[in-house]
Amino acid sequence: MIPGEFIYHRPSTVAEAVSILAQHGDEARPLSGGHSLIPMMKLRMAAPEHLVDLAGVEGLKGIKEDAGTIVIGAMTTQHEMIHSDLLSEKLPIIRETSLLIADPQIRYLGTLGGNVANGDPGNDMPALMQCLNASYVLTGPEGNREVAARDFYEAAYFTALAPEEILTAVRIPTPPSGHGFAYEKLKRKVGDYATAAAAVVLTMDGNTVSSCSIALTNVADTPLHAADAEGILTGSSLDPDTVKKAIAAAEAITEPASDGRGPAEYRTKMAGIMLERALARAAERASS
Ligand code: FAD
């Protein structure tokens, strides 16, 4: 199918983009890489009358470190994150996760901002951002506000973003060097969304877990921050009994749909298995 008619806007500043959005309210949508929005428009699941293309807006690209925080501009593509030396050194889980998204053609255009703002439970970056305790900078007519990724997602495709706001940057506290990390994703084939996936970042003090962060992808209407599982594992030696309890706690918060990726019970179990694998790999990678 072809999309319905729309008016195309190409602002050059954030202020201009926000003003167009404020003028048209729910009838306008920002356009970033277009790899979620355009397919939705072709299927007529989205029919914005005004498309506000962010490609020409200055200052929305780039990755930098600022006083213990990594700041990634919303229009930074998945391809650019994969090839960032700063991210490879400080936040290698972003590269690992980006490489599991779709295929190179989509990653050339798909942006971090579009991926996290979309509210699609199948997207991989939202759970990763919850695991990393990131926050999103939202810019509207009144200026900037920051919302934690852990508070941003309300339901499938419903987020804390107001219609007149643009997500302009993602801020991530730099994890300590030597942290262990892993993103484990089960998918039916290359290029597919997750049947279930788990992100883990942890630090070890000898054989003891000194901090642990976990989030899950595509096993509920929103990404899931697994706080109870984190609490169970912190202070443990990742012994099998404790890992089993943590996995049960993580599985307990899932509410997946039964769909082409499998029945709900199967997807819940797969979330547990992805978490078990991610924990093992993160622990292996952590230096104490
Ligand atoms: P767009 O499509 O331009 O926008 C998406 C939504 O976010 C729109 O509603 C738009 O209005 C809004 N938006 C965009 N930017 C902003 C902003 N800065 N501020 C506020 N709102 C904004 N993704 C995965 O994570 N994992 C996968 O496995 C995966 N597989 C895919 C397979 C296929 C075949 C395709 C086509 C896509 C797949 N994707 C997957 C999605 C892809 O990563 C998208 O590019 C990404 O989710 C959206 O980013 P975008 O820049 O293309 O956003």
Domains and CATH numbers, the chain: 7-53 (3.30.43.10), 63-173 (3.30.465.10), 181-282 (3.30.390.50)
8, 13, 21, 32, best to mutate for ligand 1 pocket (most atoms within 8 Å of CB): 32
Q: Is the CB of 227 under 6 A from ligand 1?
A: no
Looking at ligand 1, which residue's alpha carbon is closest to its atom 9?
118
pTM of the prediction?
0.97
- Name residue, tokens 């889980």: 93
Burial class, 60, CB count within 10 angstroms (exposed 0-12 / middle 13-18 / buried 19+) = buried
Nearest to 259 by CA among 122, 154, 130, 155: 122
**CA distance to 51, 208, 210, 236, 248, per residue, from 239 (Å):** 52, 10, 14, 7, 14
Q: Is the CB of 101 under 6 A from ligand 1?
A: yes
Nearest to 113 by CA among 61, 151, 75: 75
Looking at ligand 1, which residue's alpha carbon is closest to its atom 43?
110
d(CA 267, CA 262): 6
Q: Is the CB of 94 under 6 A from ligand 1?
A: no
Q: What is the pLDDT of residue 1?
A: 78
Q: Is the CB of 111 under 6 A from ligand 1?
A: yes
Q: What is the pLDDT of residue 154?
A: 98
Strands (E), 220-271: 224-225
Q: What is the pLDDT of residue 288?
A: 66
Q: Is the CB of 254 under 6 A from ligand 1?
A: no
Distance 29 CA to ligand 1 centre (A): 13
User: Residue 13 in contact with residue 36, Cβ under 8 Å?
Assistant: no
CA angle 206, 247, 230 (to 5 degrees): 50
User: Residue 97 in contact with residue 124, Cβ under 8 Å?
Assistant: yes
Q: What is the dihedral of CA 71, 187, 224, 138, to 10 degrees?
A: 30
Q: Is the CB of 34 under 6 A from ligand 1?
A: yes
146 is written with which tokens?
A: 């920051």
Q: What is the pLDDT of residue 151?
A: 98
User: Residue 222 in contact with residue 151, Cβ under 8 Å?
Assistant: no
Closest ligand 1 atom number to CA of residue 29: 11
State residue 207 phi and psi, 5-degree precision. -95, 10
Distance 39 CA to ligand 1 centre (A): 10
Strands 224-225 and 208-217 come out as: antiparallel
Strands 28-31 and 50-53 come out as: parallel
Residue ranges, the chain, pLDDT below 50: none
Burial class, 53, CB count within 10 angstroms (exposed 0-12 / middle 13-18 / buried 19+) = middle
CA angle 163, 155, 52 (to 5 degrees): 25
